[in-house]
Amino acid sequence: MDRYTKTVLTVIAFALVVIATQNAITPAKAVSGACGDMDYNACWVRITR
- Identify the pLDDT of residue 6: 97
Q: Measured on CA atoms in the order 8, 14, 17, 18, is the torsion positive or negative?
A: negative
- Give the CA diameter of the chain: 60
Say how far apart CA 20 and CA 27 lie, in whole Å. Answer: 10
Domain boundary assignment for the chain: 1-49
pLDDT in tens, 3-32: 999 999 999 999 999 988 887 777 666 666
Q: What is the pTM of this model?
A: 0.49
In the structure, what pLDDT confidence band is assigned to residue 46 with cuts at 50, 70 and 90? confident
Please count the helices (runs of H) and the strands (runs of E) in the chain.
1, 0
The contacts of residue 21 (CB under 8 Å, 6+ apart) are: none
